[in-house]
Amino acid sequence: MITPVCGFAIASLLLVPTVERLREAPSAPDTAVLAFLGFRAGARLDELAFHLRITEAGKLRCRRSRVDRRVNECRAALDQQRVGGAAELWVSAIDSVAGVITLSGVLASDRLEQWRAMLETQYGRVNARNQGTQRMQQWVRRGRMLRLTWRLERGEKVASVSLVDGQVLDGWARGAQGHSASRTK
């Protein structure tokens, strides 16, 4: 039979690892999932439409490709207050999964710096690179890419964030090869 003192000693020994874990620094956020303003690489179209609806950021409108019925091209005009300027959302989806998501528009003067700070806080600092007249920063995680690109155009800051899911695009390419091979037989 366990006496109250023995029970307390056993419980204390079992709780020590838990208490020690509480004292440790909080774990780093999961950076494998690349997302921006609630949009994530590899999201399903219904997830994106739901996100737009609940945040009142816009309405997703999609058209199926005539060339490849697995592909949907979707657009939404985003709410200026939410994004910080007039912006558009473009989505290329294969089998209802976003392969490429792009948010693009003319931003309010301080919004670009807010976007950069938010991305660097979430995914780490990366050096900006020049590409002609524009600059860009890029993060890659497990076959996914997030790229922030910006430039001055007629005195205004034009920026875009692209989220690319390489696995979705690779699957589409493999499917397209098989599809074209079956048509030639």
pTM of the model: 0.74
Residue ranges in the chain assigned as alpha helix (H) = 4-23, 45-55, 80-83, 111-123, 166-184
Instruction: List average pLDDT for each run of 10 residues in the chain, which is 185 residues long.
Output: 46 43 44 82 91 86 90 89 80 92 88 92 94 93 93 91 90 64 42
